[in-house]
Amino acid sequence: MKTQQDTSTDPFAFAFNPQNIENTVNNAKNTLNNPLFGMAYANFGKKFSGIGDKYDSLLNQIFSSQYRYYFDVDNMYVVKKSIMTIAPYLYRGNWALSSEFQAISPTENVHAPDLYLPLMSLITFVLLRCLNLGITDKQEFNPGYIVDSFWKCLVISFLEVIIIKIVFCFLDGIRVNTVDLISHLNYRYCSLCALMVFNILINNNFFSSICTVYVLICQAIFVYKTLQRYSPSHNQSALELSSFGSNITLLLSLLQPFCSWILLSFGQ
Amino acid sequence: MQPLKNPFGIMDPNEKPKQYQNNPFDIQNDELNETIKLGDNVASQEEKQLLFEPSKLQSNETVEEISLLEDLDITSPLLIKSRIMSVLFFQKCDSEYLEDPDLSGPILIVVSLGLLPLLTGKVHFNYIYGIGLWGWLLLYFLMNFMIQQQEKQIEFYKILSYLGYGLAPIVLLSFLRIFLQDSSFVYALAIVCAIWSTASVSKTFDTILGLQHRRFLIAYPLFLFYCTFVIITIFS
């Protein structure tokens, strides 16, 4: 009887060789007994235990940051802002805030930007489109349509924000907070939701077209009046730049109905 | 050759068994040559008798037999049933539901929501799980941003649990959809189920968050969340 395994054919000979086992065990004992390794393992343990605390503090930082003002809304603000998107000509005068770089709660000023209404109106718009498709042509509907619509809306909004941000970057002296810009340019979904509800209730192409044109004009007016607060009017002489600034703002405000028209036409 | 010894010792029929001679619970200290017998430190005579005759204890008190699941504190099936009933019928749920909600009920509800359309040949697991997860994340951030003014915070798993239990009416709708064809009754039932889910879950959130003046602002995103599942159930 062989006392040792036949190492020539055994693939695991390196593991079962008694000499190798002794070396492995000795190495393990050396590392465990070495106080330096013990300190290293203790530090690893502290790092892992600290990750949970860091995660909690990171979340606390995010939720207590300035971004919370974008969600500090109440019922009256939501109603007034919705009316403003559908009928902006009712709110005359300057739509500027007291300070463009200080966070203002929407409950204090109806012209302050928020993210609640754009987000809710975006999701409502996507669901209304799905509802419209489900009612008109059920065979075409599948749950992937919800995801597709959502991504199309996000991509078009993202491109619009990028274009306007680039234009503002080329114009000297205009600083626009990106989150504010996202907020201002996505109130369009509120008026688009109203349009979708109108289309679902009144299934008539003529009235639907008139309503679409009205909504697109209202969106252009809304964006024009909102972006006026960022137009360059104080760098050089007032006469020169005031017209230049208003021209740029007018051009940029026409981008919004164009993007909305793309959404309505090529979405389905 | 030595005779074989009886391994149990010499058997004397008159001999009492050893256990009655010396109590095994007696403590013997050989160094001090003393024995502390069982019952020496007991104060009252009644308790001393109980030490030697434990059957008396059982005869005075009735022992209630608890089921193994209750004994192990595993009450999941009953807990899930009671919580689903509280969501469906707007009943008061157990106090633990608000402080320490479970995830077993929501998992059961979501899996059944995915399995029921299989009976009509539709496979929507990926959309249900995907939309559920994204909706849960968005609602988590939205709720926590909205309640930050009150310096409160709500955890991930609590929102997931409440949203999951709120899907119970939609599971009912999914079940009924197997038997009903497209009609205005189905659409009306769908709206009722969405409002039913929203009302029950927003009641839970109102209790926890205490945002009375923003009740509709909290309820509306929940309504949109449940409408997504209703649309998937009705139109696919």
* Residue A195 near residue A214, CB atoms below 8 Å: no
Chain A residue whose CA is closest to B229:
A143
Do A113 and A245 share a structural domain? yes
Do A105 and A45 share a structural domain? no
Residue listed under structure tokens 């930050």 = B148
Mutate to test the interface with B, among A55, A56, A59, A128 (most CBs of B within 10 A): A59
Q: Is residue A4 part of a domain?
A: no
pLDDT of A239 over the 50 cut = no
- pTM of this prediction exceeds 0.95: no
Range with the poorest average pLDDT among A65-69, A121-125, A259-263: A65-69
- Averaged pLDDT score across all residues of chain A: 80
Chain A residues whose C-beta is within 8 A of a chain B C-beta are 59-60, 63-64, 67-68, 70-75, 78, 116, 119-120, 123-124, 127, 130-131, 133-134, 138, 141-144, 146-147
pLDDT digits (tens, 9 = 90+) for B74-131: 667 777 777 788 778 777 666 666 777 788 889 989 999 999 988 888 888 899 999 9
* Residue B123 near residue B117, CB atoms below 8 Å: yes
Do A34 and A86 share a structural domain? no
- Please provide the distance, in angstroms rounded to a whole number, between the alpha carbons at the two ends of chain A: 81
Who wins on pLDDT, B173 or B44? B173
Report the SS3 class of residue B103.
Answer: coil
Q: How many residues does chain A have?
A: 268
Range with the poorest average pLDDT among A21-30, A97-106, A151-160: A97-106
B142 and A116 in contact by Cβ < 8 A? yes
pLDDT, residue A257, reads 92
Reported confidence tier of residue A150, pLDDT bands at 50, 70, 90: very high
Put simply, whether B144 touches A (Cβ < 8 Å) is yes
Mutate to test the interface with A, among B126, B217, B220, B228 (most CBs of A within 10 A): B217
pLDDT of B2 over the 90 cut = no
B235 and A141 in contact by Cβ < 8 A? yes
pLDDT, residue B95, reads 65
pLDDT of B20 over the 70 cut = no
Give the Cα separation of A258 and A225 in Å (integer).
17
CA distance B212 to chain A (A): 11
Do A78 and A55 share a structural domain? no
Tokens of A202: 């009144």
Range with the poorest average pLDDT among A101-105, B26-30, B200-204: A101-105
CA distance A78 to chain B (A): 9
Angle of helix A75-86 versus helix A205-227 axis, rounded to 10:
110
B127 and A144 in contact by Cβ < 8 A? yes
Q: Is residue A238 part of a domain?
A: yes
- The set of residues, in sequence order, having a beta carbon less than 8 Å from that of B83 and lying 6+ positions away, is B93, B94, B97, B102, B105, B165
Phi-psi map region of B121: left, alpha, beta (phi>0 left; psi -120 to 50 alpha): left
Q: Which residues pair with B35 in a beta bridge?
A: B28
B220 and A120 in contact by Cβ < 8 A? yes
Do A25 and A123 share a structural domain? no
As a whole number, mean pLDDT of residues A101-109 equals 73
pLDDT, residue A36, reads 75
pLDDT, residue A101, reads 56
As a whole number, mean pLDDT of residues A242-260 equals 80
Do A208 and A126 share a structural domain? yes
pLDDT, residue B1, reads 59
Q: Which amino acid is at B230?
A: V
pLDDT digits (tens, 9 = 90+) for A30-63: 777 777 777 777 777 777 777 777 777 777 777 7
* Residue A195 near residue A132, CB atoms below 8 Å: no
A143 and B127 in contact by Cβ < 8 A? yes
Give the Cα separation of B110 and A108 in Å (integer).
41
CA dihedral A20, A25, A26, A30 (to 10 degrees): 140
CA neighbours closer than 13 Å in the CB half-sphere of residue A245: 20
Report the SS3 class of residue B4.
Answer: coil
Do A121 and A142 share a structural domain? yes
Q: Is residue A2 part of a domain?
A: no
Total number of domains in chain A: 2
Tell me which residues of chain B, numbers 160 to 179, contact chain A at a CB-CB cutoff of 8 Å: none
Residue range of the domain that includes A170: 73-265
Do A164 and A39 share a structural domain? no
pLDDT digits (tens, 9 = 90+) for A188-218: 999 999 999 999 998 888 999 999 999 999 9
Do A92 and A40 share a structural domain? no
- Alpha carbon B3 to its chain centroid, in Å, reads 66
pLDDT, residue A238, reads 45
B142 and A119 in contact by Cβ < 8 A? yes
Of A85, A82, A79, nearest to A223 (Cα)? A85
Give the burial class of A165: count Cβ atoms within 10 A of its Cβ; 0-12 exposed, 13-18 middle, 19 or more buried: middle
Do A92 and A48 share a structural domain? no
- The set of residues, in sequence order, having a beta carbon less than 8 Å from that of A30 and lying 6+ positions away, is none
Q: Is residue A207 part of a domain?
A: yes
* Residue B50 near residue B57, CB atoms below 8 Å: yes
pLDDT, residue A2, reads 46
Give the sign of the dihedral formed by CA A147, CA A152, CA A153, CA A159.
Answer: positive
pLDDT digits (tens, 9 = 90+) for B32-87: 888 887 777 777 777 777 777 666 555 555 566 777 766 766 667 777 777 788 77
